[in-house]
Amino acid sequence: MGIEMTVEHQWNRHILSTSPLYEPLHIFDAALRKHHCWPKLDDYQQLLQYAHTTVLSGGNKPITFVPQGEKPQLFKHRYEPRIYLQGEVQTRTRHWHDFFQVLVWSLFPKTKQRLNKQHYLAAKQRQQSQSNQKNRSPLENALTLFDECGAIIVSSSKTILDLIRSHQWKNLFWEHRDKLQQELQCLTFGHAIYEKTVAPYMGMTTQTLLLLVPDELLLRPFKQRLITIDELVAEQFGINGTITTPKQLHPFPILGMPGWHSDNNKANFYDNAHYFR
């Protein structure tokens, strides 16, 4: 007998239609509905064809999803170095966390490539240090936080972005509700946030990158818009990028987005001070 799967790890081929938060992933919907059980690694590999460019590691190696190995003994076999040097992403099947990781590699290939490169360079520098081999740098913490729990907010309104920076949540989500539909798009990036949406709960918070963009970007077809956003986000994590510490990412109570929770069509939903701090 096989190991009994917990509820959160049971396959659901309709998963992407269960929440508006999954909207960026809808390009994979038709392919996933064909699977009546968990996709295998070869199936994950096929999903890379939906990317807008060749999917490469930070070291410019073609990305390949491989089984998770034993605990690595050598630096080059650790998770990020192995991706950088060989393009091999250790991936568990029958697991939502790694499933969404696969989709994000295909959706944001330039950003994932840049994150991997920065992870590798920072870890390599730390490994070569005589005094600080264990303590991760602020940059490494920022990379991990965004990779796991990040979201991208693009808006043509400085006012809206300032409301996010100042945590004026009810003003943002309720008083500016109509403007949000036209002047803002929130794209989840972190695969841990996608995983949490399988069983969402009040308290889900993303660590968000804010981008002020021209009006015309928000009017482009989604695929064209995504290419530009992927490039813009990758630039933020470059050698000369603006994100170097976790403090430069902005906490965002993502279930406040209009329609992203069944109860947020009422003003008093945003009076929950525990969530909307």
162: pLDDT confidence band, cut at 50, 70 and 90? very high
Cβ–Cβ under 8 Å, residues 85 and 62 = no
pLDDT of residue 218: 94
Out of 37-51, 77-91, 119-133, 182-196, least confident range: 119-133
Q: Map out the domains of the chain as residue ranges.
A: 7-135, 144-271
- Top pLDDT among 242 and 177 is at 177
Mean pLDDT, to the nearest integer, of 215-234? 95
In the chain, at which residue ranges do the beta strands (DSSP E only) sit? Answer: 64-67, 88-91, 150-155, 184-188, 206-212, 250-252
Chain segment 234-265, per-residue pLDDT in tens: 999 977 778 999 999 999 999 999 999 999 99
pLDDT of residue 5: 41
pLDDT of residue 259: 94
Asked if residue 276 has pLDDT above 90, the reply is yes
Asked if residue 1 has pLDDT above 50, the reply is no
Asked if residue 7 has pLDDT above 70, the reply is no
Out of 70-79, 104-113, 193-202, least confident range: 70-79
Mean pLDDT, to the nearest integer, of 258-277? 95
The mean of the pLDDT values for the chain is: 93
Chain segment 88-146, per-residue pLDDT in tens: 999 999 999 999 999 999 999 999 999 999 999 999 988 887 665 678 889 999 999 99
Using a 10 angstrom Cβ sphere, with 0-12 exposed, 13-18 middle and 19 or more buried, the burial of residue 179 is: middle
pLDDT of residue 9: 79
Q: How far apart are CA 45 and CA 65, in angstroms?
A: 6
Mention every residue, 6+ apart, whose C-beta is less than 8 A from residue 160: 172, 176, 179, 180, 183, 184
Cβ–Cβ under 8 Å, residues 120 and 86 = no
Q: Helix, strand or coil for residue 98?
A: helix
Cβ–Cβ under 8 Å, residues 61 and 89 = no
pLDDT of residue 2: 38
Chain segment 10-22, per-residue pLDDT in tens: 999 999 999 999 9
Q: Helix, strand or coil for residue 13?
A: coil
Cβ–Cβ under 8 Å, residues 218 and 154 = yes
